[in-house]
Amino acid sequence: MTLTPLEDLPERAVRVRAPGKVNLSLRVGARASDGYHPLSTVFQAVSIYEEVVATPADDFGVSASGPQSDAVPTDESNLALRAARAVAERAGVDDGVHLHLVKGVPVAGGMAGGSADAAAALVACDALWGTGLSRDELLELAAGLGSDVPFSLVGHTAVGQGRGHLLTPALSRGEFHWAFAVQDRGLSTAAVYRAFDEIRHPDGPLDDDQDVPLMQALLAGDPAALGAALHNDLEAAAIELDPGLTEPLAVATDAGALGVVVSGSGPTVAALARSRKHALAVAAAFTASGVADRVLTATGPVAGARVVASE
Ligand SMILES: C[C@](O)(CO)[C@H](O)COP(=O)(O)OP(=O)(O)OC[C@H]1O[C@@H](n2ccc(N)nc2=O)[C@H](O)[C@@H]1O
Ligand SMILES: Nc1ncnc2c1ncn2[C@@H]1O[C@H](COP(=O)(O)OP(=O)(O)OP(=O)(O)O)[C@@H](O)[C@H]1O
């Protein structure tokens, strides 16, 4: 990724980077009366980043550049803009801010790109305005913006419960290597959950014990065991809405991926590789077979939203 050179930043700019994510396991219960599904999920933050540059302004505004940035709304629905307004309201700040988003994470791709923008905007506005909000206050604002936003703040590896917003850090050893098959066409998260409701009718509480082998694989830093334990309850629903997704899943398996899974609500397909070299080989197989509009490689886990430049 190309970062804006420090000397090109406007006066008093704060630049924050936040990662995309993969759900290593995503277990989904029955839709509750608030419209959300209870989750038991294991998040890993990966080295595909959103960059948010916050500069002082009279009003609130947002712009975006990078792959698929045409698909990012620049009106009040933008999650980063909503995050900035939430910080201003909580801290009683009267100033405005301009946010420029450099998109690296696929848009509507199941890797929490908008959530990463929101987490980065929370951190950037807190730093720009010197509001000094506590970690807990930022996490509370994050949860109010979206289920995935708290994890984008925290990063690394974490178990998510509730709507996915209640986080417990998880131990993970070493570095895991990924290849991603990205599609230009996105999937709506709400539509995938609705398709899940049509296909599956979960009863009883979520059984966290099913992820014991996955947690052990993370603790041991064992990619083969992690590959075997990858799981996503939303995968069938994503495939129903986008049947072409079976192709990248099959290509990654043929290329020797240790495990392959639809990322979150899709349509990005995540393949776990043996090494960086193997991740490049899986990515090359995605490209050669024409099953992806774009391919990415990454490692995980990585840190959550962090200031990378401030002046
Ligand atoms: C698929 C995941 O990415 C897995 O981490 C998340 O569950 C989605 O998180 P998100 O994009 O931050 O989702 P939100 O913006 O909170 O919700 C979007 C929509 O997804 C559905 N939704 C989301 C989270 C959840 N636990 N149950 C749901 O049913 C709801 O219909 C909601 O209206
Ligand atoms: N800053 C933003 N960047 C991208 N999309 C945004 C943003 N703010 C709002 N959106 C809207 O949210 C939708 C989903 O965006 P996003 O890229 O976060 O999807 P996603 O990665 O599939 O989300 P998740 O994995 O959290 O379900 C987009 O189609 C867009 O309309």
- CATH number at 57 reads 3.30.230.10
Domain of residue 273: give its range: 176-300
Beta pairing, strands 39-57 & 157-161: antiparallel
pLDDT at residue 26, rounded to an integer: 98
- Coil, helix or strand for 255? coil
**Do residues 107 and 72 touch, judged by C-beta distance below 8 A?**
yes
Is the CB of 107 within 6 Å of ligand 2?
A: yes
Whether 200 and 257 map to the same domain: the answer is yes
**Do residues 80 and 52 touch, judged by C-beta distance below 8 A?**
yes
Whether 162 and 65 map to the same domain: the answer is yes
In whole angstroms, give the CA distance from residue 64 to residue 84: 15
pLDDT at residue 87, rounded to an integer: 98
Beta pairing, strands 60-65 & 14-28: unpaired
Residue 150 labeled ligand binder: no
Per DSSP, helices labelled H in the chain are 79-91, 113-129, 135-145, 149-154, 189-199, 212-220, 223-229, 235-241, 246-254, 276-289
Decide if 4 is inside a domain: no
Domain end point (choices 146, 169, 192): 169
Whether 157 and 14 map to the same domain: the answer is yes
Ligand closest to 112 (CA) is 2
For residue 285, the CA-to-ligand 1 centroid distance in Å is 31
State how many domains the chain has: 2
For residue 256, the CA-to-ligand 2 centroid distance in Å is 31
Residue 110 CA, closest ligand 1 atom number: 3
Whether 37 and 152 map to the same domain: the answer is yes
Decide if 309 is inside a domain: no
pLDDT at residue 275, rounded to an integer: 98
Residue 62 CA, closest ligand 2 atom number: 1
* Both structure tokens of 138: 């930022």
Whether 26 and 161 map to the same domain: the answer is yes
Interface confidence (ipTM) of the complex: 0.96
* Both structure tokens of 197: 């409701």
pLDDT at residue 1, rounded to an integer: 52
Q: Which residues contact 8 (CB under 8 A, 6 or more apart)?
A: none
Whether 73 and 27 map to the same domain: the answer is yes
For residue 186, the CA-to-ligand 2 centroid distance in Å is 9
Whether 21 and 93 map to the same domain: the answer is yes
Ligand closest to 161 (CA) is 1
Smallest CA-to-CA distance from 54 within 102, 93, 110, 20 is with 102
Domain end point (choices 147, 169, 191): 169
Whether 99 and 226 map to the same domain: the answer is no
Decide if 310 is inside a domain: no
pTM to 2 decimals?
A: 0.95
DSSP code string of 172-237:
--S-EEEEEEE-SS---HHHHHHHHHHH----S---GGGGHHHHHHHHHT-HHHHHHH-EETTHHH
Whether 153 and 221 map to the same domain: the answer is no
Is the CB of 36 within 6 Å of ligand 1?
A: yes
- Clarify whether 21 is annotated catalytic: yes
pLDDT at residue 280, rounded to an integer: 98
Decide if 305 is inside a domain: no
Whether 84 and 149 map to the same domain: the answer is yes
- Clarify whether 103 is annotated catalytic: no
Decide if 206 is inside a domain: yes
For residue 190, the CA-to-ligand 1 centroid distance in Å is 7
- Coil, helix or strand for 36? coil
Q: Which residue has the tokens 């045409």?
A: 70
Q: Any bridge partners for residue 180, and if so which? A: 270, 296
Whether 36 and 105 map to the same domain: the answer is yes
In whole angstroms, give the CA distance from residue 129 to residue 54: 10
What's the CATH number where 245 sits?
3.30.70.890
Q: Which residues contact 212 (CB under 8 A, 6 or more apart)?
A: none
Ligand 2 binding pocket mutation candidate from 72, 78, 183 (most atoms within 8 A of CB): 72
**pLDDT averaged per 10 residues, the chain (length 311):** 56 93 97 96 98 97 96 97 98 97 97 98 98 97 98 98 97 98 96 95 82 98 98 98 98 98 98 98 98 98 94 71
Decide if 306 is inside a domain: no
Q: Any bridge partners for residue 299, and if so which? A: 177
Domain end point (choices 152, 169, 186): 169
pLDDT at residue 296, rounded to an integer: 98
Query: Angle at Cα 72 formed by Cα 70 and Cα 76, nearest 5°?
Result: 135
Decide if 249 is inside a domain: yes
Whether 247 and 164 map to the same domain: the answer is no
In whole angstroms, give the CA distance from residue 241 to residue 135: 38
Residue 291 labeled ligand binder: no
Is the C-alpha dihedral spanning 53, 59, 65, 71 positive or negative?
positive
